[in-house]
Structures are given as C-alpha cells and as structure tokens.
Amino acid sequence: MTEFARDEWRSPDPDPFWRLSSDRREPWLRAYLGNGLLTTQVVSEGGLASSQSARQPLRLLAGLYDRAPDREVEHPAPVPGWRGLRLTVGTRTLIPEEAGQYRQEMLLYHGVIETTHIWSLPEGAITAVTVQAVPRQEERLILTRLTLVADMPCTVTVTAEPDLETQPAPRVLSSGVSGARAWIRAQTHERRIEVVVAALLLNEDDLGSRETMGAALTLYLIPKQSHTITWLAAAHDGRSAADPLEAALTDLARAAAIGPARLLARHVLAWHELWRSDIQIEGDPEVQRFVRAGLFALLCSLRAGVPVSIAPMGLSGMGYNGHIFWDADTWMFPPILLTYPHLAREMVTYRQDRLAPARARARAEGYTGAMFPWESGTDGTEVTPSSIARTGLKEHHITACVALAQWQYYLATGDRSWLADRAWPVLRDAAEFWVSRVIHTERGYEIRDVIAADEYAEDVDNDAFTNAAARAALLAAVNAARLLERPAPDSWQEIADQLMLPRDGDLVLEFDHYDGRVIKQADVELLTFPLEYPLSQACIGRNLDAYRKVTDPDGPAMSRCISAIVAAQLGRRDMALGLFAGCYEPNLWGPFYSLAETPTNAEVNFLTGVGGALQSLVFGFAGIRLHDAALALDPFLPTGWHALRFSRLWWRGAPFALHILPGDRAEYVAVEADVPFALTLRRWRPGPEPLTVEVWVEPDASCEIEAVGWRVERIESDKHRWHVWPPASEPIDPFLRLRLMMRTEDGRAYGLDLEQRVRDGDDRLDR
C-alpha cells in the first residue's frame, strides 16, 4: 500500500498491542469513537459513503433522549448528519466495496480509526486513506481526514452524502448551505429539542483545487502526490445553546482556524494523557488487546463535566434503549473509580441529580425514602418497557446498588465534603427505603416478592443478593452518619444485623427454597465480592462451586468475572484464570475485540461485561478492596502471566502504580509524591512463614512499619525490610492493617495505610 508522509499527530505506539486491524470488510460490526459527549459509529467504509443505502453510521450525544412515535419508551436520539464522503473520478464513482485492497486499523493509543481503500482502474490506481476522530479536547466535533493519491492525473470530486431519514431519528426541519458550510436542523419528537449539525470541507492542499458549495470539493490530483482534505462536523442541540445553528457554525470556524493537523495532534495528546492509566498484562497478548479495547470503549462514553452515566452498550448504539441500569453502578463504575475517579464522579452525580424522582417513586409505591428506577433515562423516572415491566416493579436491588456506588466513591476519594453535600441524601434515603421495604418475622427481617439479580428467579422471597445489598446499603448509611455526625435511626443497624439470608449448611441459598435450578447471572457469589458479606472460607468455596456449575453458559458476560474474583481470593489459580477467560473469549466479535453480551448474540460493545472483566483484574488478581481509610491488597498472578501492571491508580486523591509480580508480590509505587517510595509485600495466608514487607525509599529517609496486632521485626539494619509475624493464635480478622511512615531529613513526611488479606473468610461473623 502507498506510504504517506507522517503528520505531526503520529507518534510510535509504546508497544505492539495498541493497534487492532482487519483486512476484511465486516459490515455487520460497528466500532465506535467518542469523547464522552459525542460519539459516532465507525463502519467498514471508514468515512466513505457506502453503496448500500441502509448503511450509515449512528451518532449520539450523551443524555439526549427522544421517544419516536413508534416507540413506547424513550431512547437515544440519533444525531442527523452525513453518511460519508463519496468520491467521483470523472463520471465513475469509487465504491468502497469495490476497492481491490482494503485495511482498517483502530489506533487505540491515538484514539483514531484509519481506513485504506485502493482501486485499480484501467488508467492507474487511486488510494484513499481516511483518519476518523472525535476530538477528545473538543466537545462537539467529528473529524474525518481524507488523503488521496493517484498514479495518474485526474479530477476527483468529493461530496458529502446526507443521511437517509430513518426511524427513530429526529424529524428533519430544514437543511441548507451558509457560505461554504452545510447544515441540517432537526427536532426530537417528544420534547421538541432542536438538534443541529453543521459541516464543511477543508482543503489542506491549495495546489490545483477549487471549493464548491458547502458539502462538495473538487481536487485535481497530480500523479504520486498526496492531497488531503478534512470533513469537519459540529453538533449542538437546544440543551447546549439557545441558537444551536450559530453555536455549530462558531465551532466550525474556530476548528478551521486551528487546522485539522493541530486538532488531531491535540486529540492524540488528550488520549495519551488518559492512557497514563494503562493496564498492562505481560505474557498474554490477546488479553492485553482485549483489555485496552474494552477500556477504550468505556472511555469513549465518559467525559468530565458531563454528569451522565453509562448504558449497557454505552454511547455505541441503541441497545437497551440507552437506559441506565445497575450495570453502571455495580459493573462499570468500580474499575473506573480507581483508574479515572474524575470520570467516575459523573456517574454518581447522575444518580444524585435524579434523587427527587426516586423519592416520588417510593411514595407512589407506598414506601419511604427513595426508590431508584430499574431503567433510567433523561430525568430518572422509570422507563422500563411494558414487555419487561415486572423488572421495573420488582428488581429492587437497584436502590442498594446506587447507594453502594456513592459509598465506594467516598471510600476511594476520602472526600468528606462531597459525602456530606452530595452523597448523604442518597445514602439516607436509600436506607429509609429499605426500612420501609423489609418485614419483621420470627426469622428476623425479610424482603419478600422480588426479582433476583439472577433474573430467571421471579417473585421470590429473600433473594441473597438483594438482602445482602440492602444490608450493605444500610451499613454504609450508618457509617456515613457516624463520619458526618448526623443522626442515624437505630433501625438501620438493627435491620442490617438481622436481615435474613437463606442457608443450607455451608451453602447460601439464592432465595428461599432454591432448588438448584439454572441461573441467568451471578447472585450469591456477589456476596463475597463486591459486598464482602462475612462468610467463612468453607461457605465462600461451596457457593463458588455450586453456582458456577448452574450458571447459564449463554447468560451475560459478567457472571464469570465475579467467579474469577472469588476463585482468586481462594487461591484457585487455574480456575481463576479459566473463569476470567470465559468472561470474554466466547463473546468477542470482530477485529476490534468488541465484547458481545452473550456468546450467542451480536449485541456488541457490551460495556457491562467490559467493566466486569476489568474488575477481575483490579479486584481479583490485584485483590484490591476499598475500606475506610485503608486500601487492601491481595496479589495473585495467573499462571502464564509475567506481570500485571496498573500504571496509575488513585487512592484518596494520590496516584500510585501497582505491579503484581511473580511469586504473588504486590509492588505499590508512589508517583507524583513528595516522598517517592515503593513498597513490596507478598500474598499471605495462615502458615508458618511471616508476611514480608520491603520498602525502597530515598537514601536520607527514615521508614517505620506498624502492624495492628502483629509483631514487626526488621530483617536487616541496612535495608528497609521487615518480617511481620502473626499472633500466637491464627489470625481471625480477614485483613491486617499496615501503617507505613516515612520522613526525610529536610522534614518531608508521608504516611500510608494499607491492608493485606490474611484470611479468605471471617468465621466469627458468619451466620
């Protein structure tokens, strides 16, 4: 293929696993690009117009919903625009599907898609390369840069083909040309929000060109010389601007003044900054590619300053009507919280901003506090379709999931002002909901007649996850009240202590009278993670063994992620890796490692499953747990992996790197800290050997270690190495608290509280 001169935005990838490519056109698969506010699907034509009239990319704006006349519930409102660029040489149209050579690459590190078409004509070859981006540093721009080169002199006309009007797109009101700029005005059906897209073609090579009306440009190609043009589109709507057309035209003028090359360069730098929180898997290239592709897809649907949450398919398409489920709070939020806390904050803000409708819903259903909807959209009212309306009526664990995400954000950030001002009303009202939802019987407190997290189980009593999640939400409210010195009713603690959990010996039953039937997705295993419900090691192991065998193999991707985390906690190395592989390998589609919801459907870009897989890495193999004022670690390196590295995580406002190394060692490295240091500890379980802790710190710094309830013994006087010996009797607490204190000669000081898991279960509290 023809080589083109490198632009200033191009730079080498840090390693070979940043590029995903295909030499085959795969029209059924649509990747997507986004900046967290505006997204566009990328079809195999890569910015060129398909010959198939039905093929056009979908563009979405975060939080912009509509309800078309033929739809029962609201859904994302597709943004109008242009299907792609059509190339005409004389009277001949260059049809993308007829190109003799083809290649499409997703450059994850740069945040762009590059597509190459080569047509072999009787008079010579013509090559077209498109580079597509949704500039990360911008809010409402889409950029397609087209470079053409021909073996012979020829005239090429480039024309932007407008979208075909299809449901459920907003109705087009008008379109036209303003100078060299084309525009389309539309309006959503239900709320009548004006949506405007304006665009222009920029010629980056003045030689031998002339501009025509708005969406067309004619180029005179000189043999063997490349010619580059850029198609810029700007999208605004009535929520962002009083005059969306004027706002879009202003964006275009500003972008044209900056220039496409600089726009791309700044976009790439913005993605490079995001990738400072890379996750590196050494020893398994396929996992590496999947993890980066999944993280990229998540980031395309998140943006600072845009208080929206993530639908199961993000902003990639219309799946699940773009509604917000527990998928966001329970599956996608936790890994984003530790890698990009500023983006995770927007997800919990989405729920806070919709507390009033949740309160109204609780009152309407006869409860107190707040009852969050199973499916949420624009304003937080219930928008579950009637075909599955019973989930909206009975899948009540969503209210606990919302509250727990709020509490997790506080645990990770330590932001007490945020807890008081923003999260406390959610935690308080969620607790009050559960007070009104439970009933008191001779068995304790019960929650009857729900749809379980395992949605095959309908109309059941005392679903294990629902009850345990309600307990966790009540305890979060109790702890928040204590921290904030707010009043907390005694009933919160009492109900949490006495909430019923069905049991059969060491096995937690999924619900009352559970009979071993097939389950759709994880339920009981969620008690071990993320809820950390106090169970014995024997109970945790039996739950894992029992429920992984009856989980539907055609169920959603995320269940095996939780099983992998539990297996890692139990030290089952091969099982943990196999379960992790099972959460994504059967569900991968296409060259860009898009994850489908199940092995048998093509609902791709299933970000819920991506979030679950990332949790397997963060909370399974790294063994991280979020505790009040302490970050817990439990390193576990899968067989065949050389290292698992998190280049930047965040804890209590400070960035750190974490490396899981052979020998199940965790290396915690302070970055951007006044006192740089690295702490290494090994995974420990009860036995004759002590826990070993080693610290690298500046030569002039002193360092001390404290271990609550354990004996600390320095190994060598000239190094910062310690043995930490357990009490004479086997430790009964699941975690050991370590306190690291360092001080330099010039007065700089640093303290860190970490926890190390030393038991798999907690027999004292198991009941």
Tens digits of residue pLDDT in 727-743 = 988 888 899 999 999 99
Handedness of CA 527, 383, 447, 509 (dihedral sign): negative
Flag the least confident range among 130-134, 177-181, 628-632, 672-676: 177-181
Max Cα distance, the chain (Å): 89
Positions marked catalytic: 455, 597
pLDDT for res 225: 95
Q: Which long-range contacts (CB under 8 A, 24 or more apart) does 668-675 make?
A: 668/633, 668/752, 668/754, 670/750, 670/752, 673/750, 674/748, 674/750, 675/701, 675/742, 675/744, 675/748, 675/749, 675/750
Q: Which of 555, 373, 380 minimizes the C-alpha distance to 455?
A: 555
Given a cut of 80, whether residue 423 has pLDDT beyond it is yes
Confidence at residue 52, expressed as pLDDT on a 0 to 100 scale: 76
- pLDDT for residue 766: 53
Helix, strand or coil, per DSSP, at residue 676: coil
Where residue 601 falls among pLDDT bands split at 50, 70, 90?
confident
Whether the pLDDT of residue 391 is over 90: the answer is yes
Instruction: Report whether pLDDT(607) > 50.
Output: yes
Contact between residue 721 and residue 715 where contact means Cβ atoms under 8 Å apart: yes
Question: pLDDT value at position 719?
Answer: 73
At 90, the pLDDT band (50, 70, 90 cuts) reads confident
E strands, 406-516, in order:
439-441, 444-446, 503-504, 507-508
pLDDT at 764: 60
- The predicted model gives 23-46 an average pLDDT of 90
Given this model, what pLDDT does residue 51 score? 81
Please give the mean pLDDT across all residues of the chain: 94
DSSP string, 267-319: HHHHHHHHGGG-EEEET-HHHHHHHHHHHHHHHTT--TT------TTTTSS-G
For residue 180, pLDDT over 90 is answered with: no
Which residues does 711 contact at the CB level (< 8 Å), separation at least 6? 724, 725
pLDDT score recorded for residue 209: 45
User: Token pair of 401, please?
Assistant: 């999931």
pLDDT-derived band at 41 (thresholds 50, 70, 90) equals very high
pLDDT at 702 over 70: yes
Contact 547, 525 (CB under 8 A): yes
Is residue 562 within 8 A of residue 526, CB to CB? The reply is yes
Q: Which two tokens stand for residue 549?
A: 């065998």
Closest to 461 (Cα-Cα) out of 443, 435, 436:
443
Cα-based torsion angle of the residue sequence 486, 491, 492, 495 in order, rounded to the nearest 10 degrees: 170
What does pTM read for this prediction? 0.96
The larger pLDDT score, comparing residue 717 to residue 398, is at: 398
By the 8 A CB rule, do 722 and 739 touch? Answer: no
Structural domains in the chain, sorted by start:
29-275 (2.70.98.40), 354-505 (1.50.10.10), 643-757 (2.60.40)
pLDDT in tens, 50-68: 887 667 899 999 999 999 9
Distance of alpha carbon 131 from alpha carbon 147, whole angstroms: 9
Q: If pLDDT is split at 50, 70 and 90, which confidence band does 206 have?
A: low
Please state, in angstroms and rounded to a whole number, the distance separating the CA atoms of residues 670 and 748: 14
pLDDT band at 765 (very low <50, low <70, confident <90, very high): low
Q: Mean pLDDT across the stretch 326-342? A: 98
Tell me the average pLDDT across 337-348. Answer: 98
* More confidently predicted of 286 and 603: 286
**What was the pLDDT predicted at 213?**
45
For the ranges 53-57, 179-183, 473-477, 535-539, the lowest mean pLDDT is seen at 53-57
207 — pLDDT class (breaks 50, 70, 90): very low
Reading phi first (left if > 0) and then psi (alpha if -120 to 50, else beta), residue 618 is in alpha
φ and ψ at residue 428, rounded to 5 degrees? -60, -50
Cis peptide before 122 (omega within 30 of 0): no
Map tokens 């009526």 to a residue.
Answer: 393
pLDDT at 214: 61
- Tell whether the model's pLDDT for residue 1 goes beyond 60: no
pLDDT at 352 (0 to 100): 98
Helical (H) or strand (E) element with 704: strand 702-707
